[in-house]
Structure 1
Amino acid sequence: MIKNWIKSTIALLVIVILIITNLPCLESYAQDYNQLNHRVVKVGYYPDYATILEPASDGNMGYGYDYLKEIAKYTGWKYEFVKCSWDDGVKLLQEGKIDIFGPMQKTEEREKIFDFPNVQMGTEYGVLFANKNSGILYEDLDFFNGMKVGTEKENYYTEVMNQYCKDKGIKVNYVYTDSEDIGRELKEGLYDTYLTGDLQAIPNTTVVARLSSEPYYYATTKGNTEIIAGLNYALKNIFKNDKYFEQKLYEKYFSNRDISKPSITKKEIDLIKKTKKLIVGCQSDSKPLQYFDKKTGLPSGICTDILKEVGNISGIEFEFVPVEVKNGTISKEQLDGIDLYACYHDVSPLKSLKYTDAYLNVPMMIVSNKQLNLSDKLNVVVYSFDEKNQGQFKKEYPQFSIKKTETIEEALSVLEKNKADAMLIPAYTYDELEQTDNQNFYVYSTDIKCRMDLGISSKLPAEMTYILNKSIARLDNDVVNTIIYKNTSTRAYDVSFAKLVKDNSWVILGLLTLFFAILLIVIETSNRKLKSVLYVDSSTGKASLAKFRIDARGLLDNAKADEYMLVSIDVNNFKYINDIYGYDAGNKVLKILADHIEMILPGEIMLTARRAADNFVFISKTCNKDKVFNAMSDDSLLKKDVQLVLGPDYDLTLSIGAYIIHQPFKNISVMLDYANIAKKTVKGKVGNPIAEYTPEMNEHMELKKKVTVGMEAGLLHGEFITCLQPKYSLADESLIGAEVLVRWKHPELGMLSPMLFIPLFEENGFIEKLDMYIFEATCKLIQKWNQAGLTKIPRISVNISRVTLCRKNLVDELKEIAQKYHINTRQLEIEITEGTLERSTERIIKIINNLKAVGFYVSIDDFGSGYSSLSILKDMPADIIKIDKEFLSETFDSQKGRKIINSIIKMSKELNLEIVAEGIETKEQAEALRAMNCDVAQGYYFARPMKPEAFEHMIINGR
């Protein structure tokens, strides 16, 4: 603790001296600043193009807005923001009616009509957006070939897309649009995907392809020398003072967006399922980056812990083994035994390997046993430093001569013998060395980052590189920071007080005599600011997830089983708060919620933090469970405070999941997952907003994961199979039809009932693919019967979900499939559920009329399960009503219930509707329905669902 204080003080002294010695420069800068014009600059912006977001109640925000604010510090400009479309913005800039417009890429054509600054203001990927429920997979080239791509005219990325198509050997058709509602047009199927830059925010979409990255600029009118001079001057000084300004701003606004995290392709999913484990070779003794604990023998260190997280994200188990490097080489036996190599790459057999993206960039430091002038020609020793990193070092310090060693011990020996002036060393390794070595070092920071990545064995498929890179891209910054903190700041070192005083005696003496009192206050403030970067959530002022993990571990290390509970809270529909009210209002709601969590039971909420977006977590005593739950589920004060921000009509609701901590020693991440699993069971549902975690929930979530991961492969491999349940005339019990049902023969889970997967598919949109697949399979089946010469094929009904029913051009697609297999549409019946009719009634009526117009019969399934049954009879142009089996079983046992059923049948008859009763299981039910003049029966009493071959046999036999 004292040593850290001393180090911070030394750094502060250097800063004070630098400020004093550079006062003339500051005065010169101030003179230059004042020479610039203080004027109002008109900035055109394109709504939802995330560099400048829509103005909220208290002003603008966004990457571009913050960038322009920074520019204003050097130019004195004030801004007037002008909302416009892309075409209008280009026109206004050409005419000089606005001063700045962007972002835009620089091209030869644009340079003829606009002026661009010398420095770019960011980098943007060209991407293809698709509706999140479209079922389109990432880089599904089979689908891409021939698809419709929406885009604006004069879109820079059209040429990039053309090159992508050429490289991939595909063709696409462009659909030009200037709509402000791209999300709606994607949903309605006007085009399959939309081409734009990844900075654009389009609700309810996902990225299905990522093209090349391109720098972008904010342009000005041709010849506007005042604006271009101001931009160049400001940008030059911004990067001079902080070369990572752009990177920091990008991380603030874009790093946590799903769009910045690539998706997994169908081919990669298959490879993950086949790959059980990967062997990772790492260094055995390179603390604190990667090493094997001498007591436990387990792999440890910053790199190792991060790679474990990469393995968890990818779904592939990593097994770590030590690798020994001798004389700059690694044995063939060792190399053959590993799949991935996590050590430095300056080893002869490894130089030809392919490598992943960096999972960590370690800051490097120059240390020496004497004072240095880094502008001098110096001999610097480096160890285990590969050619990529050496190239970076040579570029930054071309005057240095480099000497290489294999280990830090060898490098230290070279330094001690004065065979080198300095040593280049990773910052985290220096922390370790400083705590355990007796020498005093002079330390110099650098801008060099040591790139830590994974070498990939040539025996692995090329797709493994993409899988690992995408997993690395999904690393959570909070998790990485926690890992670094755990492996550095929280480790215990055996350093004597006498050594501490001896090593720093001159510093202590100087501080005591001159700066002690003043610097102590400044250092404390500096330390608080430093900690706040990592440990304080900027939106709420509360603890970050990284701080929560550390504090929770400390609290639970001494806890008893079931003493505490971990609670996870989400604001329902928070995304729409941001979309409708603006990000500023959304942040205010988050702050209100954070404050209210701490006020639920003052003193009883032990730890709180904002996990991400609108997700908060806290730990409290289990004995207060009921009080906490009651307070959270009906917090009228919270709702009132939120209404002050969003208006009196807004009714805030929460989803809450809790995990009773039975095993306090468990990993905090696992506990967070358990609470989230419980929360998901009540998310978006009416009623009790709170759920406690049970092991069954985890099993259900695991089942959902397996179902989701396997659904695409299931369709490709023909795992979804059809069966048919016959329908009979109640008048003479003759076979008059059948309903097609689906089952999933899952390779791991066995035969799955549709009740297990249909609701999930309706949530994730995959139901559209399945519906169309089953419809086509049914047409193939009828074609087979037709070709076999069967003459009395009954009408076959196929279910179409409410999601698929809203599919653009559905009726045309169904008609085309029927024609493809030469099927008369009168042989087919389309079943839609009553629940579909509760919304968009006029649209559904139009779809039903269109289905009937091309010859399909239409039936309303599950009639009686909703609340609008009687009212829809007069409005819906359907042909058939199917009485819900649950409704039938619940009402059939009473005289009153039978009268209701009889009334429905009678009313339907008067409207010329055919009546089908589902779920008939007894002779008594059949006889009663026959007496009521019900037309058709379906149920176990007559026949169970059967394979197509068995039903074909029934057709042949007429029964």
Structure 2
Amino acid sequence: MKRKRNYTLKVVAAFFVTIVFALICSFTYLDYMRNILNNDTKERLLEVADRTTDTMKIKLQSGITELKNLSTAISLKSGYNTEEMKDVLYNYVKESSFQRIELIDPNGDGYSNDFKDINFSDREYFQKAMNGEVNISNFMQEKVSAEIGSTFAVPIFNENNEVIGVLAASKEVSEFKKLLDVNILGGEGYLALVDSSGAIITSQNHKNYDSGITDLREVKFENNNTFVDCSRKFEKGVLKTQSSSNDSKYIAYAPIGINNWYIISIVPASIIEKNITSLNNISSLMWISMSILLLIIVTYIIYSKRKADNKLEKIAFVDSVTNDPNYNSFFYDFNKRMSKEYKNSYALVTLDIDKFKVVNDVFGYENGDDILRHMAFVICENLTQNEIYARHSADNFLILLEYIDEDSMLNRMDSMTIEILNNLDKVIKNMSGRIYSYKFILNYGICIIDDKKDPLDLIVDRANLAKKRVKGSHKTTGAIYTKDLREKMLMEKELENYMDKALREKQFKVYFQPEVSFKTGKIIGAEALVRWYHPEKGIIYPDKFIPLFEKNQFIKKLDYYMFNEVAFYIQKWESEGIVLPKTLSINLSRVHLSDLDLVDELLKIVKDHNVEPSKIGIELTESAFFEDTDLIINVMERLKNAGFKIYIDDFGSGYSSLNTLKDLKVDYLKFDRGFLTNLEDNKKGQAILHNLVNMARDISICTVAEGVETVAQANFLSEKGFDIAQGYYYYKPMTAKELRDKLINDENI
């Protein structure tokens, strides 16, 4: 009985020890897991603050870049006046994120569109900028609006790299507040911007906002820590406030890297610790079934962590329209691929739809979003494992592609854009008729990454610069960034800034290249050509400015100017009794083709000069004729009915449709010089040319051979039946006076 009692005691003791051991293990394990969960949540909280600082830094640097670009444009424009610059700054502010932009001279006197004669010489940001330093000021009361804000300041340099002024732009506190609008831990936390002393500059409006936390210097933290001491010891970290009423907060801080500003994220401790409380409640049941309970705990922890991570990741890294990676995700993955562990070469591509706002207006925003999702899908399908993409803003996509060589890169982008465009009719809903009448155009720019240390925003700017080069080209295309491209665009910008003044001052001069009859050798026509006599650059030839003017629509003004000049000379020479050629022709840009007032404007000009329309020929390039057949036939019929002569210029340079040609009311076909090259030894080419000339004669169209430079070419083309010749063999382009003198001499022979 005693032995049995001892055995029972031993069993009870063993059971008791087992239970105690199980409880100890259970609580030890729970305590361990509580610490892991606590630390992991804090890390995620700190990561959100850290990412927000990156985002804010990018936005601030973007503001500086925006201001520096404006400063560069101002520095290129010498001799600007106050009123002109006020208009420039006013227009720029409307498109920018700044509340105000002012220009400050070296004495500190500043002006903008809404004030003048305010001196900024006592402002630190002005003093720094005058010393050549780009800077962002601390928050202070602005002199103009009296609002609290921060000022971005950049120096303006002259051509000798001397500081000649300061460009300053203001952002009010409310603008910084918008950057804090980030969802933290399911909306339970909020963000604030503080300075290095702990003073809160601004914070996010939030349901959990604590009005008692207005200055971190006044907040008591656990272990008697202070914000200033901790921020000095550790670049970033997480602190917990002291509290006697169970309302303590976790505060994570991370530096922005500008003006000793910090982003802090504040979350009630109860939110972070609620999972820990759940685990403590479960611990009372742990001793019943240790294995089952451990499995539940592990599953719960994994599920909770995964759910929290997914929620945070979706908020921070997923695009709201495409449900694919957003810019934050792209920024993170881009920097990772620029690290040493990735040996691949890369190129960054920016891709968008030309005039996407018009697409939204035509097809509706719902279809617009479907188009963006379709673009994202096609891009994703065309990427390899190490390549990434994201929607940057609106219809702008960033794509990081592995780089082999320029040809393969351009081929990949051509293939990708073709696939996007080919399937748009399947994406746009209930618009089957309109989808086929609207011409979608994609543009892309490529920047080959030579230095992986270059920041992403710089690389994006370069790709956008290349893309800007092809904007307005009326077809899907792209370009690769080069230093020469940048220099060329700067030169074009300079020409663009000067073009209106040049037109007012009549710096554009008319030259004429005569057209000669093969039969008589006499001048029977002349083509009007334009030359730009720039006061500093000298003669600028059309190939340097015509493509630019076609993109920015200035070509319309220039064409009307040239047409007016031609009509003027016809009137002048007729009044002098000079026998003129049959026609003086002028090139008309394809940009005019959609202008409903074109014919009326041209008729008004000839009427003002008392000139017969039949004295003037309108030259349209072959490519324009076959780009939009219905439109060009309509315009040409109206021009023909008005009495003008019609030329197809550069005939044979493209893929002409003879079937379409029969519907065009054309007076002259000007054969492209490239079409005539090396035909002397090409029997097939000679046969084609012979039949084309005969065909033109049969339908009463005169034929003109351009680019005739030798006697052999002249004899060959004359034998083939051409009516008219034009080229250096006969005459080079000449001034109006030279043509007048030549016509007078021909009369007297």
Q: Does the alignment reach a TM-score above 0.5?
A: yes
Q: Is the 1:918–1:937 contact (alpha carbons within 8 Å) kept by the matching residues of 2?
A: yes
- Residues 201-257 of structure 1 show CA distances to partners (whole Å, capped at 9, x for unaligned) of xxxxxxxx99xxxxxxxxxxxxxxxxxxxxxxxxxxxxxxxxxxxxxxxxxxxxx99
1:566 aligns with 2:352: no
1:859 aligns with 2:640: no
Q: Which amino acid aligns with 1:731?
A: K
Distance in 1, matches of 2:122 and 2:454, equals 26
**Who is 1:583 aligned against?**
365
Q: Which amino acid aligns with 2:202?
A: A
**Who is 2:398 aligned against?**
617
**Who is 2:60 aligned against?**
none
- 1:839 Cα deviation (Å)? 5.3
Q: 1:279 to 1:839 in 2, by over 3 A?
A: farther
Q: 1:588 to 1:830 in 2, by over 3 A?
A: closer
**Who is 1:919 aligned against?**
707
- Residues 795-815 of structure 1 show CA distances to partners (whole Å, capped at 9, x for unaligned) of 311122333244324333222
**Who is 1:659 aligned against?**
447
1:868 alignment partner, SS class: coil
2:533 alignment partner, SS class: strand
Q: 1:820 to 1:307 in 2, by over 3 A?
A: farther
Q: How does 1:198-209 map to 2 (within 5 A)?
A: none
Q: How does 1:397-796 map to 2 (within 5 A)?
A: 426-427=201-202, 439-441=217-219, 493-495=231-233, 504=242, 517-518=273-274, 536-545=318-327, 548-549=330-331, 552=334, 556=338, 563-570=345-352, 578=360, 582-594=364-376, 597=379, 600=382, 603-605=385-387, 608-619=389-400, 622=403, 634=415, 645-646=427-428, 656-679=444-467, 692-746=480-534, 750-792=538-580, 795-796=583-584
- Residues 119-158 of structure 1 show CA distances to partners (whole Å, capped at 9, x for unaligned) of xxxxxxxxxxxxxxxxxxxxxxxxxxxxxxxxxxxxxxxx
1:955 alignment partner, SS class: helix
Q: 1:624 to 1:817 in 2, by over 3 A?
A: closer
Q: 1:791 to 1:612 in 2, by over 3 A?
A: same
- 1:292 Cα deviation (Å)? 6.0
Q: Which amino acid aligns with 1:604?
A: N
- 1:895 Cα deviation (Å)? 2.8
- Residues 927-947 of structure 1 show CA distances to partners (whole Å, capped at 9, x for unaligned) of 122233422211010011111
Distance in 1, matches of 2:516 and 2:402, equals 61
Q: Unpaired runs of 5+ in structure 1?
A: 10-208, 211-255, 265-270, 273-277, 322-336, 343-355, 365-407, 413-422, 429-433, 444-488
- 1:789 Cα deviation (Å)? 4.2
1:904 alignment partner, SS class: helix
- Counting aligned pairs with the same residue, the percent is 30
1:830 aligns with 2:618: yes
Number of residue pairs aligned between Structure 1 and Structure 2: 559
**Who is 1:172 aligned against?**
none
Distance in 2, matches of 1:531 and 1:663, equals 30
**Who is 1:797 aligned against?**
585
Which 10-residue stretch deviates more, 943-952 or 625-634? 625-634
- Residues 28-84 of structure 1 show CA distances to partners (whole Å, capped at 9, x for unaligned) of xxxxxxxxxxxxxxxxxxxxxxxxxxxxxxxxxxxxxxxxxxxxxxxxxxxxxxxxx
Distance in 1, matches of 2:642 and 2:652, equals 28
- 1:956 Cα deviation (Å)? 2.0
Q: Is the 2:696–2:703 contact (alpha carbons within 8 Å) kept by the matching residues of 1?
A: yes
- 1:505 Cα deviation (Å)? 6.7
Distance in 2, matches of 1:745 and 1:559, equals 55
Q: Is the 2:443–2:477 contact (alpha carbons within 8 Å) kept by the matching residues of 1?
A: yes
Q: Is the 1:728–1:937 contact (alpha carbons within 8 Å) kept by the matching residues of 2?
A: yes
2:734 alignment partner, SS class: coil
- 1:538 Cα deviation (Å)? 1.8
TM-score between both structures, scaled by the size of structure 2: 0.59
**Who is 1:939 aligned against?**
727
Q: Rg larger in 1 or in 2?
A: 2
- 1:837 Cα deviation (Å)? 2.8
**Who is 2:188 aligned against?**
none
1:728 alignment partner, SS class: strand
**Who is 2:86 aligned against?**
none
Distance in 1, matches of 2:422 and 2:595, equals 40
Q: 1:495 to 1:871 in 2, by over 3 A?
A: same
- 1:553 Cα deviation (Å)? 5.2
Larger helix percent: 2
Distance in 2, matches of 1:439 and 1:258, equals 39
Distance in 2, matches of 1:568 and 1:928, equals 50
Q: Is the 1:798–1:829 contact (alpha carbons within 8 Å) kept by the matching residues of 2?
A: yes
- 1:632 Cα deviation (Å)? 6.5
Q: 1:700 to 1:853 in 2, by over 3 A?
A: same
Distance in 2, matches of 1:627 and 1:737, equals 48
Q: Which amino acid aligns with 2:201?
A: P
Distance in 2, matches of 1:656 and 1:498, equals 40
Distance in 1, matches of 2:607 and 2:733, equals 27
Q: Is the 1:726–1:943 contact (alpha carbons within 8 Å) kept by the matching residues of 2?
A: yes
1:666 alignment partner, SS class: coil
- Residues 96-138 of structure 1 show CA distances to partners (whole Å, capped at 9, x for unaligned) of xxxxxxxxxxxxxxxxxxxxxxxxxxxxxxxxxxxxxxxxxxx
2:135 to 294, 299, 320: 299
- Residues 344-371 of structure 1 show CA distances to partners (whole Å, capped at 9, x for unaligned) of xxxxxxxxxxxx886964559xxxxxxx
Q: Which amino acid aligns with 1:494?
A: R
- Residues 294-331 of structure 1 show CA distances to partners (whole Å, capped at 9, x for unaligned) of x997634578999669999xx999x999xxxxxxxxxx
2:509 alignment partner, SS class: strand
2:656 to 831, 843, 868: 868
Distance in 1, matches of 2:372 and 2:173, equals 31
**Who is 2:600 aligned against?**
812
- 1:609 Cα deviation (Å)? 2.5
Q: Is the 1:658–1:678 contact (alpha carbons within 8 Å) kept by the matching residues of 2?
A: yes
Q: Unpaired runs of 5+ in structure 2?
A: 1-37, 47-89, 102-110, 113-117, 141-148, 179-194, 204-211, 222-226, 251-268, 278-303
Distance in 2, matches of 1:633 and 1:755, equals 26
**Who is 2:10 aligned against?**
none
Distance in 2, matches of 1:806 and 1:946, equals 32
Which 10-residue stretch deviates more, 726-735 or 631-640? 631-640
1:782 alignment partner, SS class: helix
Alignment root-mean-square deviation, CA? 5.8
1:875 alignment partner, SS class: coil
